[in-house]
């Protein structure tokens, strides 16, 4: 039986070391900075454990138990689509606003377990640890977050050249029981809410950077692990009415500092091996499978935002202006593009051993387009909203005073909504496009998959350039050139590759 929300709430009261506003938090499930986000995660688990949703949300594992489809290793197009439908149902519970919901890193770990042979091929790879941890995390339905980026210091220097032993996490000791690591990583989204964190590095490391080249899973309550939370938007949200999104879905981001954290060997997947550390991402399907999940989530979020855009224009009576319809049509085509990407990745999927997986070229194409599309969509919603998102009473409390409520009713007017409904809608709109929570989301969608130089680099490397070169070369047939021009020239003109 999959775990319940209550199981998850209990599991995070484990002595973890979380700091916020100068205090150490005792129990995140009862702290005003995190409690609603913990409940939102718990709702995901309750939803999948509901007997009515079991078929949709879970699959049968090799040991005959039901586990979350987040952990599923699809063997056919049909299984891939069934899994996507489960992920869509989960994302709809937060409208795509919890970017690192438990299905993200579950996708990473599932895909690493599909590529055990990659770990076998490298001396520093530890395939049995990967296999066993995947089964353990799946069977206990762990919420695993990850930290895979070195903190910003001096980006013009490599991690090892920085000379600061506390900046990027590295192995500082090891013995018969395991490794000990010290240093930090950015930026653990959802880490505060999760059970465990996968710590590793995404960027390629050089041969002299062996001590940074490790991958391991660490319980959030591990001795020495310190989580420094950013400001909580949930804590600053007075009510669900005033901040419907920030009050519920602030998944948090934290800097993680590993203060000599001991990690047993059975949780170490890569050990001092830069080649294996890179191969774990790109020679297994880990990197593309996790980012496929991200595009599924984005699709849900885009549908929500485009629905919001239309409702705003109905509410302020602009929907029938031709220019507004054009803008809504543009938004509709943008959500259609993300939908086409997701369905295309599946239809153009490929066989990786016994597994059927989404096409990586389209995953990377989608990533590049998504990170520029999102800020554009937010800008369009701002344009459609005008000052309506700020022409609002300060909080729900204003409705409690009859005199103020009377003025609100006279000034909050719409052809289709009551005053209260209009205020509620625009509070939702501001929380999606303009609040501090919304602004963090724009930064998230622009950067979660890496800076643009990195995502375009992946798209460049994965693209089938031969196909395009053949097309161009085919149109440059030497037969079309007059023989006189060809005299003394190479037999064939090649543009690319
Ligand atoms: C909200 C949010 C949540 C996140 N969640 C997670 C998470 O859960 N786990 C995790 O591991 N990471 C997470 N990250 C980190 C994320 O992966 C990084 O932000 C991303 O990889 C970019 O790295 P950076 O922020 O260090 O920016 P940098 O790499 O420092 O880049 C900053 C800017 O400098 C430019 N730049 C840097 N180097 C070069 C260069 N050589 N040439 C040209 N331009 C350059 C970049 O293009 C960019 O515009 C999160 C980030 C954000 C914003």
CA–centroid distance, 79 to ligand 1, in Å, is 33
pLDDT the model gives residue 153:
86
Pocket test for ligand 1, best of 187, 371, 453 (most atoms within 8 A of CB): 187
Q: Which atom of ligand 1 is nearest to the CA of 444?
A: 1
Largest CA distance in the chain: 93
* Class of residue 264 by CB neighbours under 10 A (exposed 0-12, middle 13-18, buried 19+): exposed
CATH class of 286-462: mainly alpha
pLDDT the model gives residue 496:
41
pLDDT the model gives residue 1:
75
One of 1.10.3720.10, 2.50.20.10, 3.90.105.10, 2.40.110.10 is the CATH number of 5-282, namely 2.40.110.10
Is residue 450 lining ligand 1, measured as CB closer than 6 Å? yes
Structural domain boundaries in the chain: 5-282, 286-462
Which residues of the chain carry a pLDDT beneath 50?
493-497
pLDDT the model gives residue 270:
98
pLDDT the model gives residue 444:
98
Whole-number Cα distances in Å, 272 to 206, 233, 284, 411: 11, 38, 18, 65
* Tens digits of residue pLDDT in 220-271: 999 999 999 999 999 999 899 999 999 999 999 999 999 999 999 999 999 9
The DSSP secondary structure of 68-126, one letter per residue, reads: EGGG----SHHHHHHHHHHHHHHHHTTTT--TT-THHHHHHHHHHHHTHHHHHHSTTB-
pLDDT the model gives residue 115:
98
Measured at the CA of 151, the angle between CA 71 and CA 205, to 5 degrees, comes to 75
pLDDT the model gives residue 204:
94
Residue nearest atom 35 in ligand 1 by C-alpha distance: 451
Is residue 453 lining ligand 1, measured as CB closer than 6 Å? yes
Give the mean pLDDT of the chain: 95
What is the Cα–Cα distance from 100 to 291, expressed in whole angstroms?
A: 11
* Tens digits of residue pLDDT in 135-179: 999 999 999 999 999 998 888 887 666 667 778 999 999 999 999
Pocket test for ligand 1, best of 105, 451, 453 (most atoms within 8 A of CB): 451
- Compute φ and ψ for 102, nearest 5 degrees: -55, -20
Is residue 188 lining ligand 1, measured as CB closer than 6 Å? yes
CA–centroid distance, 378 to ligand 1, in Å, is 20
């Amino acid at each position: 039986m999959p775990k319940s929300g209550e199981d998850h709430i209990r599991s995070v009261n484990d002595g973890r070391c979380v700091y916020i506003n100068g205090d150490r938090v005792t129990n995140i499930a009862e702290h005003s900075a995190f409690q609603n986000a913990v409940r939102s995660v718990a709702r995901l688990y309750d939803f999948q454990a509901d007997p009515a949703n079991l078929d949709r949300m879970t699959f049968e594992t090799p040991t005959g138990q039901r586990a979350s489809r987040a952990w599923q290793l699809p063997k056919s197009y049909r299984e891939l689509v069934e899994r996507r439908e489960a992920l869509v149902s989960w994302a709809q519970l937060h409208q795509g606003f919890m970017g690192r919901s438990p299905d993200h890193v579950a996708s990473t770990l599932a895909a690493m377990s599909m590529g055990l042979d990659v770990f076998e091929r490298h001396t520093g790879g530890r395939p049995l640890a990967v296999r066993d941890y995947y089964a353990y995390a799946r069977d206990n339905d762990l919420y695993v977050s990850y930290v895979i980026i070195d903190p910003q210091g001096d980006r013009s220097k490599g991690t090892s050249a920085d000379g600061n032993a506390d900046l990027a996490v590295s192995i500082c000791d090891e013995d018969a029981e395991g490794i000990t690591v010290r240093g930090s990583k950015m930026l653990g989204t959802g880490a505060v809410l999760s059970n465990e964190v996968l710590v590793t590095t995404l960027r390629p490391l050089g041969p002299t950077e062996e001590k940074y080249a490790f991958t391991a899973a660490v319980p959030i309550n591990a001795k020495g692990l310190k989580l420094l939370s950013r400001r909580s938007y949930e804590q600053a949200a007075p009510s669900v009415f005033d901040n419907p999104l920030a009050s519920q879905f602030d998944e948090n981001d934290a800097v993680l500092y590993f203060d000599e954290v001991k990690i047993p060997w059975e949780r170490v997947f890569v050990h001092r091996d830069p080649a294996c550390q890179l191969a774990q991402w790109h020679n297994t399907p880990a990197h593309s499978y996790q980012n496929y999940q991200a595009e599924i989530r984005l699709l849900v979020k885009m549908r929500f935002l485009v629905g919001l855009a239309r409702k705003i224009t109905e509410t302020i009576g602009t929907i029938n202006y031709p220019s507004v319809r054009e803008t809504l049509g543009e938004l509709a085509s943008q959500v259609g593009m993300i939908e086409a990407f997701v369905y295309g990745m599946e239809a153009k999927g490929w066989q990786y051993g016994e597994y059927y997986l989404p096409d990586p070229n389209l995953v990377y194409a989608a990533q590049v387009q998504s990170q520029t599309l999102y800020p554009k969509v937010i800008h369009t919603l701002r344009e459609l909203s005008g000052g309506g998102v700020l022409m609002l009473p300060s909080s729900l409390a204003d409705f409690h005073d009859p005199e103020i409520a009377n003025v609100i009713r006279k000034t909050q007017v719409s052809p289709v909504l009551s005053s209260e409904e209009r205020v509620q809608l625009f509070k939702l709109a501001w929380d999606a496009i303009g609040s501090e929570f919304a602004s963090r989301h724009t930064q998230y969608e622009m950067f979660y998959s890496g800076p643009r130089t990195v995502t375009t680099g992946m798209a460049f490397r994965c693209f089938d350039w031969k196909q395009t070169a053949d097309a161009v070369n085919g149109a440059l047939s030497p037969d079309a050139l007059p023989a006189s021009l060809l005299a003394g020239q190479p037999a064939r003109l090649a543009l690319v590759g």
